[in-house]
Amino acid sequence: MSPKTLYDKIWDAHVAHEADDGTCLLYIDRHLVHEVTSPQAFEGLRMAGRPVRAPEKTIAVPDHNVPTTADRVNGIENPESRIQVEALDKNAKDFGIHYYPVHDVRQGIVHIVGPEQGWTLPGMTVVCGDSHTATHGAFGALAHGIGTSEVEHVLATQTLIQKKSKNMKVEITGKLQPGVTAKDITLAVIGETGTAGGTGYVIEYCGEAIRDLSMEGRMTVCNMAIEGGARAGLIAPDETTFEYVKGRPHAPKGAQWEAALNWWKTLYTDEDAHFDKVITLRGEDIAPVVTWGTSPEDVLPITATVPHPEDFEGGKVDAARRSIEYMGLEAGQKLSDVEIDTVFIGSCTNGRIEDLRAAAEILKGKKIKDGIRAMIVPGSGLVRAQAEEEGLAEIFKEAGFEWRLAGCSMCLAMNPDQLQPGERCAATSNRNFEGRQGRGGRTHLLSPAMAAAAALTGRLTDVRELM
Amino acid sequence: MEKFDKVHGVAAPMPLINIDTDMIIPKVHLKTIKRSGLGVVLFDEMRYHDHGGENEEFILNKPAYRNTEILVAGDNFGCGSSREHAPWAIKDFGIKVVISTSFADIFFNNCFKNGILPIVVAEEHHVVLMDDAHKGENARMTVHLEDQQITTSDGVVIEFEVDPHRKHCLLNGLDDIGLTMEKNHHIDKFEDHASQARPWV
């Protein structure tokens, strides 16, 4: 048998039908659903009189629209947001799918809730009408975002019509330097490949620096595979993975755990398996990074300066000029001189307990700079509860951060948490597109520790100076 | 779905690279529970001023391009989120074909589900098409799916590739779910097998 990559193995285990031209029906083990991309899909089912084929494999949670302030117990004020969340309440009930409503302590960002509850397991196929479904690849699950038509297709048939992607290996060798995190790895990779570098590929991340990461860190890395254009990112499961999964509410138990473990241990890329593209970065070479522009590929070490548009080639010259103007920066300006108004720590990229611990370590016993608006939005109600138990919430509140309830919040600003035009935010989220955090808002992507450092100084800051 | 055959219409140039789905349709317009009516907010933040009113400089607001049916766009068009609101807005505006040197994966898939043809062309052909699109409303392009050909207003013919299954579905207006349900026995068989092999799923 020819050697296979991890992607090949998961793919082969899920092909329900293959047509002569290579078009496959890929069976889906877990379908995660949120309120923004699903209403039209459920409406389609109703109109066609179709049931959900596998409601027991379908999990829904509202996250994009939900307010994160304490008054949300009184209901959602924005009528459109409320209608979307109510539609999900009704659809979950009518179609009999697992549901974590707004008031449930387990509610949170769908990509944090899935792993936390043990719905996401190694070797699975996982989809969701959300591009950051790539997050679940951290478990060695083939996980990717789909559009609403495909959401309806999966609800009705538990399959997707797919053609196989190509294999890409991203290896991070050696150890990371102090102050460098999973977020810096994933941004540095996108800086290297560009946002279209992964188009047509599924990425497998490997190497010592990846192996050394916790599950939280691995989720951060895979989360942004989509920003590199890849369909999905994968990390082979190992003891770190099994340890994380064991005992979670929906993880297998007893004899089934043993059977699952036996299969999961076969989920790695065989020696000599073929990759169509290989990227290698040295862990030692990765610095704490920030983005300067309006594309996630606009990544530079915090010690660098804003580039000149002429430094680029082709269409990127105009794009860089537009970005620098939108961001209100000057070419040649030191990134560490850029002053910010807002700090956002949260999102499916960096809203897990480890992210909060990293921020708390920098903030402990300190106060944020006067005039800075800073908020921490835990990724789930359970992350929030754990942070309170560990005393992190107190550190944040004493430092001057707002301590919020769980949701997507200012990552995409569909709820009331938004930037005003011209406001500049140090954000641990995943996209710095024009208007992403609010019309006219300016976003610099960075790690939770770097975001905490920026909150203390009021400017983009090299976290290593505060360690 | 409507059958897709041939489009003969105005092509608009949008050479900016990395046009993301937040640019195509910002999140404030994702709160709908319907698929229709999003054309008016297509490219919202570029198309309208902050205080309201149309930005006359934006390509689709120029008189020559108000009836654009073909978009010639810069590299990596549609990157970012999976929101199908992006192709819904494009379709509702009246655009049926988007041409670029590359597309983001999810956006590319979403187009086909909505009767939009995304076409990937080589850099050298992209330059020709972008030039042609700059000529305004008197320069109409033709996109013929059956023959897989784009004809510029000057009569230059450029051939393009399209996945045969997707071409078949577009040409015949076929519904994916209906097609897959014809293979239900394969899915049943897979489930039987998988429940033995991986009972914990």
pLDDT of B1 reads 81
Examine the pLDDT at A364 and tell me if it is beyond 90. Answer: yes
Kindly report the nearest CA distance between residue A25 and chain B, in angstroms: 8
Q: How far apart are CA B124 and CA A334, in angstroms?
A: 38
Q: What is the mean pLDDT of residues A360-372?
A: 98
Q: What is the mean pLDDT of residues A57-83?
A: 95
> Are the C-beta atoms of A250 and A115 separated by less than 8 Å?
no
Contacts of A427 by beta carbon, 8 Å cutoff, 6+ apart? A343, A344, A347, A410, A411, A437, A443, A444, A445, A446, A451
Contact: A147, B87; criterion CB under 8 Å? yes
**A147–B contact, CB cutoff 8 A:** yes
Q: How far apart are CA B29 and CA B15, in angstroms?
A: 24
Examine the pLDDT at A270 and tell me if it is beyond 90. Answer: yes
Q: What is the mean pLDDT of residues A336-353?
A: 98
Residue B79 lies in a domain: yes
**Which pTM was predicted?**
0.96
Kindly report the nearest CA distance between residue A445 and chain B, in angstroms: 15
Tell me what percent of chain A is helix, strand and coil, each rounded to the nearest 5: 40, 20, 45
ipTM for the assembly? 0.93
Contact: A319, B16; criterion CB under 8 Å? yes
Measure CB to CB from residue A129 to each of B26, B80, B82 and give the nearest one: B82
What's B34's domain CATH number? 3.20.19.10
User: pLDDT below 50 — which residues of chain B?
Assistant: none
Measure CB to CB from residue B84 to each of A83, A87, A148 and give the nearest one: A148
pLDDT of B86 reads 98
**A312–B contact, CB cutoff 8 A:** no
Structure confidence by residue, pLDDT tens digits, B15-49:
999 999 999 999 999 999 999 999 999 999 999 99
Measure CB to CB from residue A433 to each of B32, B80, B181 and give the nearest one: B80
What the block records as the tokens of A341 is: 């108004």
Kindly report the nearest CA distance between residue B143 and chain A, in angstroms: 24
Measure CB to CB from residue A436 to each of B17, B22, B83 and give the nearest one: B22
Contact: B32, A80; criterion CB under 8 Å? yes
Please report residues of A whose CB lies closer than 8 A to that of B113: 147, 149-150
Contact: A147, B74; criterion CB under 8 Å? no
Search chain B and give the residue with CA nearest A149. Answer: B113
pLDDT of B52 reads 87
What the block records as the tokens of B179 is: 């097609």
pLDDT of A17 reads 98
Residue B73 lies in a domain: yes
Q: What is the mean pLDDT of residues A256-275?
A: 98
A168, HSE (Cβ side, Cα atoms, 13 Å): 21
Contact: B105, A256; criterion CB under 8 Å? no
**A145–B contact, CB cutoff 8 A:** yes
Edge to edge, what strands does the sheet with A15-18 contain? Answer: A15-18, A24-27, A159-162
Q: How far apart are CA A406 and CA B105, in angstroms?
A: 29
Measure CB to CB from residue A40 to each of B34, B103, B181 and give the nearest one: B34
Structure confidence by residue, pLDDT tens digits, A281-334:
999 999 999 999 999 999 999 999 999 999 999 999 999 999 999 999 999 999
Structure confidence by residue, pLDDT tens digits, A271-295:
999 999 999 999 999 999 999 999 9
Kindly report the nearest CA distance between residue A29 and chain B, in angstroms: 7
The full set of domains in chain A, from first to last, is: 6-164 (3.30.499.10), 166-237+268-285 (3.40.1060.10), 289-466 (3.30.499.10)
Kindly report the nearest CA distance between residue A431 and chain B, in angstroms: 8
List, as ranges, residues 207-236 from A with C-beta within 8 Å of B. Answer: 226, 229-231
pLDDT of A6 reads 98
**B56–A contact, CB cutoff 8 A:** no
pLDDT of A330 reads 98
pLDDT band at A1 (very low <50, low <70, confident <90, very high): confident
Examine the pLDDT at A90 and tell me if it is beyond 90. Answer: yes
Residue B151 lies in a domain: yes
Q: How far apart are CA A298 and CA A167, in angstroms?
A: 25
Contact: B177, A157; criterion CB under 8 Å? yes
Contacts of A285 by beta carbon, 8 Å cutoff, 6+ apart? none
Measure CB to CB from residue B106 to each of A145, A200, A319 and give the nearest one: A145
Cβ–Cβ pairs < 8 A, chains A and B: 189
Measure CB to CB from residue B26 to each of A17, A295, A435 and give the nearest one: A435
List, as ranges, residues 11-50 from A with C-beta within 8 Å of B. Answer: 13, 16-17, 19, 21, 23, 25, 27, 29, 36-37, 39-40, 43, 48, 50
Q: Indicate which of A78, A82, A150, A256 best probes the interface with B, i.e. most B CBs within 10 Å of its own CB.
A: A150
Search chain A and give the residue with CA nearest B111. Answer: A147
Q: How far apart are CA A451 and CA A428, in angstroms?
A: 7
Residue B62 lies in a domain: yes
Domain ranges, residue B185: 6-197
Helix (H) or strand (E) holding B38: none
Residue B1 lies in a domain: no
Q: What is the mean pLDDT of residues A157-166?
A: 97
Q: How many domains does chain B have?
A: 1
Residue B134 lies in a domain: yes
Please report residues of B whose CB lies closer than 8 A to that of A439: 26, 45, 50
Contact: A229, B79; criterion CB under 8 Å? yes
Residue B37 lies in a domain: yes
Examine the pLDDT at A153 and tell me if it is beyond 90. Answer: yes
Structure confidence by residue, pLDDT tens digits, A377-409:
999 999 999 999 999 999 999 999 999 999 999
